[in-house]
């Protein structure tokens, strides 16, 4: 920790996303109640927690990515950590969210050639002032001992938080592009903070596969 970080911690310590206690991004008590998804009991295709054998979330839908993992559900304290991190620019939550996702992706060790963060749109980047997904992807890449690819995907469309499910899928066709001179690895793991319908990941996977990727898998910290 540098001098500036030490001073920041003294003046304004990081607070638990669950109970607000100063000192840790998630205290041990709140960590025990975090709504994590067991990868062994979740749908391989969309990452939803499974109730029975069949997944009701993704039945009848096709994705350009082959598999998905979500570390947890978008419920407190995880949802609060995500909000503090991306909307209140509390960047000290990056290590908590990154570590949670890195741990969830551990079962894919040896599979990806690279980890790639979903790039923010220009509007989102200007609004937040930082690339919130990039830091999370860094933890996943280092956890899996693979490089993090930058500049592999470029966002060309604006975000679609206001759109419904069908409109989201229609809107993501062409939402991402792969630069002409990019070297596209065969197996790519794409990372984002939240998976809602899977439409954004689908758009990214479609662009990567069109550019030559053999298989794309996706991972999100939380599932809405
Ligand atoms: Zn707590
Ligand atoms: Zn599913």
Count of structural domains, the chain: 2
Ligand closest to the CA atom of residue 19: 1
Domain that residue 10 falls in: 1-33
C-alpha 121/C-alpha 175 separation (Å) is: 9
C-alpha 90/C-alpha 129 separation (Å) is: 11
Task: Tell whether 5 and 59 lie within a shared domain.
Answer: no
CA of 188 from ligand 2 middle (Å) equals 20
C-alpha 19/C-alpha 67 separation (Å) is: 34
Task: Tell whether 57 and 105 lie within a shared domain.
Answer: yes
Place of tokens 């041990």: 28
Tell me the pLDDT tens digit for each residue of 110-141. 999 999 999 988 888 888 888 999 999 999 99
**CATH number, domain at 171?**
3.40.50.2020
Task: Tell whether 92 and 150 lie within a shared domain.
Answer: yes
Task: Tell whether 16 and 85 lie within a shared domain.
Answer: no
Ligand closest to the CA atom of residue 34: 1
Tell me the pLDDT tens digit for each residue of 167-202. 666 666 678 999 999 999 999 999 999 999 999 999
Task: Tell whether 93 and 140 lie within a shared domain.
Answer: yes
Task: Tell whether 27 and 70 lie within a shared domain.
Answer: no
Task: Tell whether 4 and 50 lie within a shared domain.
Answer: no
What confidence category does residue 150 fall into, taking pLDDT thresholds of 50, 70 and 90?
Answer: confident
C-alpha 66/C-alpha 209 separation (Å) is: 11
Task: Tell whether 26 and 100 lie within a shared domain.
Answer: no
Task: Tell whether 105 and 205 lie within a shared domain.
Answer: yes
CA of 76 from ligand 1 middle (Å) equals 11
Task: Tell whether 27 and 67 lie within a shared domain.
Answer: no
Helices (H), the chain: 3-11, 28-32, 78-86, 94-104, 122-128, 132-144, 165-172, 199-210
Task: Tell whether 192 and 95 lie within a shared domain.
Answer: yes
Task: Tell whether 29 and 65 lie within a shared domain.
Answer: no
């Amino acid at each position: 920790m540098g001098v500036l970080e030490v001073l920041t911690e003294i003046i304004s310590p990081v607070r638990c996303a669950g109970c607000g206690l100063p000192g840790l991004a998630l205290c041990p008590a709140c960590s025990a109640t975090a709504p994590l998804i067991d990868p062994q009991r979740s749908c391989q295709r969309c990452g939803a927690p499974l109730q029975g054998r069949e997944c009701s979330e993704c039945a009848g839908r096709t994705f350009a990515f082959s598999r998905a993992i979500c570390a947890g559900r978008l419920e407190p304290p995880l949802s609060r950590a995500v909000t503090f991190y991306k909307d209140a620019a509390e960047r000290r939550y990056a290590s908590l969210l990154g570590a949670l996702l890195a741990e969830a992706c551990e079962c894919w060790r040896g599979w990806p050639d690279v980890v790639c963060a979903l790039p923010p749109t220009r509007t989102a980047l200007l609004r937040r002032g930082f690339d919130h997904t990039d830091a999370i992807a860094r933890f996943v890449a280092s956890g899996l001992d693979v490089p993090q690819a930058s500049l592999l995907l470029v966002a060309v469309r604006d975000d679609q938080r206001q759109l419904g499910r069908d409109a989201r899928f229609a809107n993501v066709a062409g939402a991402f592009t792969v630069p002409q001179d990019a070297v596209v690895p065969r197996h790519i793991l794409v990372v984002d903070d939240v998976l809602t319908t899977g439409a954004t990941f689908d758009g990214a996977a479609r662009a990567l596969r069109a550019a030559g990727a053999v298989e794309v898998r996706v991972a999100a910290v939380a599932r809405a």
